[in-house]
Amino acid sequence: MAGPVSSLGYVNTERKFLKHIRDNVHGNILLEPIFLSFMDTEQFQRLRDLKQLGLSYMVYPGAVHSRFEHSLGVYWLAGKAIDAIKKYQGQELGIEHTDVLTVKLAGLLHDVGHGPFSHTFERGFLPLVLQGSTWSHEEMSVKMIDHIVDQHKIDLDSELLKKVKEMITSSPGHSSQREKRFLYDIVANGRNGIDVDKFDYIVRDSRACGLGCNFQHERCLFLYSRLMETMHVVDDEICYRANDYLTVHKLFATRADLHQTVYTHAKVKAIELMVIDALVKANPFLQITSLIHQPSEFWKLDDSILKTIESSSQQELKESRDLIQRIRRRDLYQYCNEFSVPKERLDHFRSITPQDIVCSQTNGANLKEEDVVVSYVKIDLTRGRANPLGSVNFFKEYGSKEKFRIPNDCISHLLPAYCEDVIVRVYSREREQVEAVSNAFENYQLKTFGRKKQVHDTPEKKKRPKYFPSL
C-alpha cells in the first residue's frame, strides 16, 4: 500500500507519500496515496498495454500512447476542474474533500475496463460473435473497480466508491435525483458531452498524430483551458459563459475533425476490419468471449492478443495468423470508394450489405459476398444530427442564478446547419477484386440514386495494381 487510506476517504498527504509523474501533455502530475493504491495494481497497469487509439498507429506512427497515460490525464484534469469550481463556489455548493476525492478517482478509473484496440473490440468484434451484445467498457470498469478493491483490500468508504462508479456510467436519466448533480458533469457528462475525458483525449491524440503541428495542439489546449477557467455551476449544472459558445462549438468540431482524419481514416478502418476478422476466426479456439464477464480474467486481455495469435503454431489459428501476417506485410483490405448518405434519406436508409454490391456486379465479374466488406462511418458533433449547443446551458455573467440555451437562430451563421455525416465505404478483401468491387459499387449507386454519389472515381492504378504493396 502506497500510504494510509481510511474508510472515510482520508488520505495522508505528507510529502513523503506523494508521487510525481511527468506527463508529456500536462506536465507534472501529483498522485496521493489513495490513487496510488489503485494505480499500483496489475489491473490498472494493464492499461499500459492498451493503445489509446487502437490500431491507428499503423497509419499514424506517433499514435502509440496508451490508456494508462490518458487515464492519468483525465485524473489530473478532473482535479483541476473540481478545484476551479471549489475555488469560486465551494462554500455555496458545499463541496467537501470527499467530493474532490470522488471526482478524481472517477477520472483515474474511468477506462480501467476498456478492451483491446480501443472501441473496435466492443463495437466491431463482440456484436459479431455475441448476438445482441450490450457489453460496454463502462460497465466493465465498474466491475473492475470492485475487483481491485476486493483483491487488494483497499479500505475505502462504500458510499464514496458507489459515487465513483456512478460518475463513470453517468447519464441524465441516472443522475437526475442525485445530490450535487454537477459533480457528475465533470468526468463523463451525459447531459451535453463536455467533460475532461474529451479535454484530455482531444489534446493528447492531436499531439500524438501530429495534426497541424503545434497549431492544432495549442488550439486544443486553449479550448479546454478556456472552458475550465470559465465554467460556473448554475442550478446544480456546470454551465458556460454565453460569449464562449463558439469555443464550445470548436471543441465539438475538433473532436469531429479527429474522427474524420484519424479515428475513421480509410486505411485505419481497413486494418480494423482485418483484425476483427482475425479475432472472429480465433474466438472458437481462444475463447476470447469467455473472458469478458469476469474481471479476474478480463484484465489479462490486452492488445498483445495479436502477438499471441501471430506467434502460435496451432493449426486452428492459421486463418487468423494469415490475416495478421497480411497486415504486417501491408497486404490490406483495399478501400474501393465511399459516399455520404443523402440527408433526406438518413431516416429511412436501409443498410447496404455485401449481397447488394454483389448483385450489382457487371457480367463476368464473378464476385462473391465474402470478397466484399461494407463499412459504415458515422461522424457527428456528439449529439447526432442535433446541434450540440442545443444541450448546453449558458449563463450571462458570474453570480447569475439563471441558465439558458442559445437558440439556433441566435448563433453564428458560419456554423454548420447539419451536424452528422453517415458514410458508406466498400472494401475488397483481395487486390485483384478492386476493379470488380468498385464497378459493382458504382452500379449500386446508379440503381439506388439514379447517379453516382461518390465524389471521385476509383483511380485506375488502384483497379489494376502493380506488384508494389500499398503504403
Residue 185 burial (C-beta neighbours within 10 Å; 0-12, 13-18, 19+)? buried
| Residue 137 annotated to the active site | yes
Which positions ≥6 away from 260 have C-beta within 8 Å? Answer: 379
Q: How far apart are CA 444 and CA 448, in angstroms?
A: 6
Query: DSSP assignment, residue 458?
Result: P
| Cβ 301 vs Cβ 286: under 8 Å | no
Quickly tell me which residue has 513523503 as its cell. Answer: 16
| Alpha carbon distance 227, 240 (integer Å) | 7
Neighbouring C-alpha atoms within 13 Å toward the C-beta of 431: 14
**From CA 292, how far away is CA 414, in angstroms rounded?**
45
- Maximal CA-CA distance, the chain: 78
Q: Of the listed 137, 232, 249, 265, which one is catalytic?
A: 137
Q: What's the CA gap between 56 and 75, in Å, rounded?
A: 24
**Cell triple for 54:** 487502437
* Grid coordinates given for 177: 435525483
* Pairing label, strands 420-428, 394-395: unpaired
Cell of 305: 492478443
Active-site annotation, residues: 137
